[in-house]
Structure 1
Amino acid sequence: MNETAKLDDRVRDFCGTNGIPGFLAGVHHAGRQTRISHGIANIATGEPMRADTGFLLGSVTKIMTTTLVMREVERGTVDLDAPVTTYLPEFRLTTPGAAERIRVRHLLNHTSGIDADLFFPDVEGPHALKAYMGRLGRECGALFPAGEFVSYSNGGMIVAGRLLEVVTGLPYDELLNRDILGGAVPHSVAVGHFPGPATGQARPTGMFRLPSTWAPAGGTAIGTIEDLLDFGRVHLGDGMTPSGRRVLSAASVALMRSKSHHMGTPDSSPVGLGWLLRTLGGTTALTMTGASPGGIAVLAVVPEHDLVLAAYGNDPRALDLHEELLLELTGATPPPALTPATFDLQPYAGTFRSDQLRVDVRVVGDELEEHVVYEPSDADQERIFTGFIGGEFAAPPMRYVPVGPDLFAPAGMPLDALPAHCLVSYHGRGDYRCAGGRLTRRAGA
C-alpha cells in the first residue's frame, strides 16, 4: 500500500470512529508530496471535502504574521529589540508603564505579558486593528513584566499586525494575501462543526469566523492544504517557496526556529519567534495549531526529517488525529511516565485571574481542586466567545495530583503517555498558574 493510501485509510478510520464530518491533510516528506481529502465540508449542504477546499487557518496565521514582521526586519523598517511604542506611539495598557517596556520581539515569542487572550472587540473593516488598539489601552492590562514568562498571546500578535499596517501602509489582510497566501480564493470553504451535547453527532457552527480585530492572531485568514504545505516548505528550507520566490532570508528562518524562551516545565513548549518548538522523535518540530469556530488546523515543520505536515478537521475532535499523525510521521515515542509526588499543597491555593477568566484553587486532601469560571466583561464578549467554543462555557471542578515540583496532573488519568496539554504548572513561587500554555496571575500578586 502506498503512502497516500495509508494516510487515507488512517484518516477514514479515525473520522468514522469519532464522528468527524471532514478532514484534509497534506504531507511533504523527503521531496515527495501527498494530499488527501475525506468526508463532508458542510453537513448542512452536503458539500464534500476536496483537495482544494479552503478552511480557516486559525492560529497558524500567527506564524505568517511573524514571517511578515521578519520581512520588515530584513528591510530595516523594524528592529526586533525596539520598543513597540517606537512604531505605535498610541500603544497603551491599563498597567502603568507596561506597554512602554514591551519590545517587538516580545510580541512574537509570547513573552509580552499582554492580558488580552479572550478580548474580542467586535469591529469589522479596514480600521479594525486601529480600533482594537484603542480599546486595548482602555480595557486590558499586563499579566507580568515583558520577557519574564511565556504566555500564549493572541493580543501580542494582534498588536504585531497593527504594527505591520503602520510600517507598510497596507491593511493587514491585504499584506497577508499579497506576500504569503498569494491572493488566490478557494472555490469552496469548509464550515466548522461541534459535537452535540447529548449524542456527540456533529452540528454546524453558528459562527463562521472571529471578528476582523483578530485577523493577525488567526481570526479571518482562509487557505488550502496546498497553501500551508507551500508556506511550511519556506520554513523547511532557506526561505524560498517551491516556485523559487524568496519570502525570507535563511538567517531569518533560522532565527524564527531558534529557542528564545522556555518555562522549564513539561506542560509548555519552548518558543522561537512565532513557532512553538517541540521535541519529537529525537528532533525539533516547529508547530502551531489553529482553532476556529468548530474547526482545527495544524502546521508542523520538522527540518531534520525534511517533513511538513498540514491538516484541518472541521470538528475540534480532529485535534487528536493531528497529534497521532505527527507522532507517527516523526517516529516519536510517548513521553516518560510521570511519578506521583508528595509536598505541601497549600501554597498553590488561591484565586488566579486573567482576561475574563477566574480560577479558584483549593486543597482537598492530597489533591488540588480547580474551578475555572468565565466572567465576560460585556454581552458582545460573551456572544463571541461562546460562539467560538460552540456553546455556553461550563467547566466543572477538576482535581489534580502533584507529580513534581510545581507540576500537577489530572487525578484519575494514567500517568504514562499523558499529553502535555493536560498538565498544570505553577511559577513565580506560586503566583502564576499555567494551563495550556496560558498564565493566570494570583489575585493580589
Structure 2
Amino acid sequence: MKPLPGNEPRRLCGEFENSGFPNSLSMRVQAEVWHPDLVSVLSDIQMHLMLRTFAKTLLLACGLDAAQAGELEDIAEQAASKAPNYALGVAYAENGAKPVTMTFGPIHKNTDTPVSTDAQWHIGSITKSFTAALIMRLVDRGTLSLDAPVEDYLPKDKALMHAQWRALTLRQLLSHTSGLPANAPMEHFSKRSNENLHDLRREILAALWISPLSDQTGAYLYSNLGYLLAGFVAEEATGKPWEKLVLDELAVPLDLKSLGFGAPVKDGAPWGHGGFVLFKREVSPQADITDNPPWLGPAGTIHLSLNDLVLWGQAHLAACKGEADQFLSAKSCLAMQEIIAENYGLGWVIEDNKDPPHIWHNGSNTMWYAKLVILPDQDRVLAAATNVFHARRIDRLLDDMRLSND
C-alpha cells in the first residue's frame, strides 16, 4: 500500500529521516513509518509491542543478529526506566553498518513532548577528540608539528609569553601533560560573547601566559585550558576560527550535518537540567546561561546527534585501519590512541588493559552527560547521552552494552 503523503519511508539505520511519530511510551526508533489510521486504533501495549518488533527488525537490517538486537533494546529500556523524567539517547553500530539510534523520555522533566530520534545532544568534553583530530589533520598536512614549541606558531604573542609557556608542545597540550591548570580563572567565565572569539581567546590566554606554570610539565593534569591553547594555535596557524575549522575539516568531510556549538536549540532536542541533585530544573535553550562560554569551544562546546557521534567513532575505526586517509592518516589516528599519561592519549582515554579493550571519552557541562565508546576488536561503536548530569547511569548503560554478546 502506498504511504499517505508525509508518511513515506524515510532513512533506515541513520540514513532515513525520523518521521516524528510520538509513541505513548516516549520511545522512538529511527525510521518509524506508520499509517495514521492504524495508529489511532492501537492500544498503548500494542504500540509498544509493535515498536519492539520494529526495533529488532531495524537492528537486524543494520548488521546485528537477533540476540544482539534484543539484548541492546532491553539494556536501553532498562536504563530509560530508571529516570523516566529525563531524556535518554542510545546509539550503536557494528562492522561498519549504519548507526541505530533509540531515544526515550521527554525533552525536559516538565513536559510530555518526547525527544526526537535525530535530536542533537551536548557532548561536552568529547569535543576534545574533535580538537585533537583537527590538530592531527593539520599535522598530516605539515601545517603543525606535535613536538614543536607553540611559540613557533605564535609570532605575535611569544614576546609576552613566559618561557615555560613558549616551550609547551601540542602533544603536551592534547595529552594533559602541559602543566597548565584545569581552567582559566572564574572571572573569565562571565565573558560570554559569541563574537570575535579568536580575539577573546587571545585576551584570556594573554592574561595567563605572562606567568610561570603552576604545575610540572610532564605530569598528568586534566586541563581545559590546555585544549583552549591548542585550539588557539590551530587558529593562528590557519587564519580561521576553531569553529570554522571543525566544520570545514571534520563535519563537512564526514557528513556530520547535525554538528553545532553550544546548547542545541532545534525542535525536539532535549533541554539541559541544572541545579542541585534533588532540585534539578530544566534550562531553556534561550536562557542566558545554557553552556560554558563560547571561547571555551576547543575544550567542550560541540553538540550533534547520536547518529553523527557514532559516525565520528566509525571514522576513527576506519582511519586507524588505513581506510580513511582522506580524514586522517593511520599514523595520526594511531598516535591519538597511544597512552601518554594516566591512560590518556591525544583526545582519547585508552583502556587497552580491559576486556574487551576500548577507547572512550565522556563529557558534561554539568547540565548534560554524554559518552562515546569505541571497541576496535569488535569493530563496534557505542554512544549514549542524557540531559542531566547522570554519569553513573550512562557509564553503567555503556558498560552493559560493551560487554553484551562479547
Are residues 1:321 and 2:393 paired?
yes
After superposition, the C-alpha distances for 1:86-143 in whole angstroms (9 at most, x for unaligned) are 1124557999422022111111111111124254441423422432332233247523
For 2:329, the equivalent position in structure 1 comes to: 249
- 2:338 aligned counterpart, secondary structure: coil
Residues 1:201 and 1:167: Cα distance change in structure 2 (over 3 Å): same
Q: CA deviation at 1:307?
A: 1.5
For 1:144 and 1:210, the matched residues in 2 are separated by: 24
Please give the residue correspondences for 1:202-351 in structure 2 after superposition, counting only pairs within 5 Å.
202-205=280-283, 207-219=289-301, 221-238=302-319, 246-262=326-342, 270-279=343-352, 281-317=354-390, 319-331=391-403
Question: Contact 2:197–2:294 at 8 Å: present in 1 too?
Answer: yes
The answer on whether the counterparts of 1:93 and 1:139 sit within 8 Å (CA) in structure 2 is no
RMSD, matched Cα = 2.9
Task: Output the TM-score relative to the length of structure 2.
Answer: 0.71
**Alignment gaps of 5+ in structure 2:** 1-65, 260-265
The CA distance in 2 between the partners of 1:110 and 1:328, in whole Å, is 29
In structure 1, give the amino acid aligned to 2:290: F
Partner-residue secondary structure (3-state), 1:131: helix
Among candidates 93, 109, 112, match of residue 28 of structure 1: 93
SS of 1:125's equivalent in the other structure is: coil
Shift of 1:231: 0.7
Residue 245 (structure 1) shift:
8.0
Structure 2: distance between partners of 1:174 and 1:153: 23
CA contact (8 A) 1:49 1:190 kept: yes
Q: What is the CA–CA distance in structure 1 between the aligned matches of 2:327 and 2:78, rounded to whole Å? A: 38
**How much does 1:159 deviate?**
0.9
SS of alignment partner, residue 42 of structure 1? coil
**Counterpart residue type for residue 399 of structure 2:** L
Higher strand share: 1
C-alpha change, 1:51 and 1:18, in structure 2 (3 Å) is closer
Q: Secondary structure at the match of 1:330?
A: helix
1:76 maps to a residue whose letter is G
Is contact 1:93–1:136 with CA below 8 Å preserved after alignment?
no
Note the alpha carbon deviations across 1:176-217, whole angstroms, 9 max, x for none: 1222223634843321114765xx364213632111111111
Cα distance in structure 2, aligned partners of 1:84 and 1:150: 19
Aligned amino acid, residue 292 of structure 2? L
Out of 152, 173, 178, the residue aligned to residue 222 of structure 2 is: 152
Partner amino acid for 1:86? D
- Which amino acid is 2:215 matched to? F
The one-letter code matched in structure 2 to 1:313 is T
Tell me whether 1:54 sits opposite 2:149 in the alignment.
Answer: no
Counterpart selection for 1:136 from 181, 195, 205: 205
CA deviation map 1:357-402 (0-9, x unaligned): xxxxxxxxxxxxxxxxxxxxxxxxxxxxxxxxxxxxxxxxxxxxxx
Change in CA separation of 1:204 and 1:162 when aligned onto 2, cut-off 3 Å? same
AA partner of residue 218 (structure 1): G
Q: 1:9 to 1:62 in 2, by over 3 A?
A: same
| Ranges in structure 1 where 5+ consecutive residues have no aligned partner | 263-269, 333-445
What is the distance in 1 between the residues matched to 2:322 and 2:123? 19
Tell me, in whole angstroms, the C-alpha distance in 2 between the residues paired with 1:331 and 1:9.
14
Q: Which stretch has the larger CA shift, 109-118 or 54-63?
A: 109-118
Per-residue displacement from partner, 1:293-322 (whole Å, max 9, x unpaired)? 4100111112112121111111112x2232
Q: For residues 161 and 231 of structure 2, what CA distance do their matches in structure 1 show?
A: 22
From the superposition, tell whether residues 281 and 79 of structure 1 become closer, same or farther in structure 2 (CA, over 3 Å): closer
Q: Superposed, which structure 2 residues align to 1:61-210 within 5 Å?
A: 61-89=127-155, 96-117=162-183, 119=185, 120-121=188-189, 122-139=191-208, 142-146=213-217, 148-182=218-252, 184-185=257-258, 187-188=266-267, 189-194=269-274, 197=277, 200=278, 202-205=280-283, 207-210=289-292
What does residue 56 of structure 2 align with?
A: none
Question: How has the CA–CA distance of structure 1 residues 277 and 60 changed in structure 2, closer, same or farther, with 3 Å as cutoff?
Answer: same
Deviation at residue 241 of structure 1 after TM alignment: 11
* Alpha-carbon distance in 1 for matches of 2:159, 2:78: 48
Q: Name the CA distance, whole Å, in 2 between partners of 1:167 and 1:109.
A: 20
Measured after TM superposition, the shift of residue 291 of structure 1 is 0.3
Contact 1:297–1:310 (CA under 8 A) maintained in structure 2: yes
Cα distance in 2 between the residues matched to 1:116 and 1:90: 25
Instruction: Give the number of aligned pairs.
Output: 319
More helix by share: 2
Task: Please say if residues 54 and 223 of structure 1, whose CA atoms lie closer than 8 Å, have aligned partners that are also in contact.
Answer: yes
Partner Cα distance (1:20, 1:211) in 2:
27
**TM-superposed deviation, 1:49:** 1.4
Q: Is the 8 A contact 2:182 2:221 kept in 1?
A: no
Taking only the aligned residue pairs, the percentage that are identical comes to 25
Structure 1, 112-121 or 99-108: larger mean CA deviation: 112-121
Conserved? CA contact 1:52–1:225, under 8 Å = yes
SS at match of 2:221: coil
Amino acid at match of 2:355: G
Decide which moves more: 156-165 or 109-118. Answer: 109-118
How far apart, in 1, do the equivalents of 2:354 and 2:344 lie?
18
Q: C-alpha distance in 2, partners of 1:311/1:105?
A: 29
Question: Match of 1:418?
Answer: none
The alpha carbon displacement at 1:82 in A equals 0.5
> Which structure would you say has the larger RCO, counting Cα contacts within 8 Å and 6 or more residues apart?
2
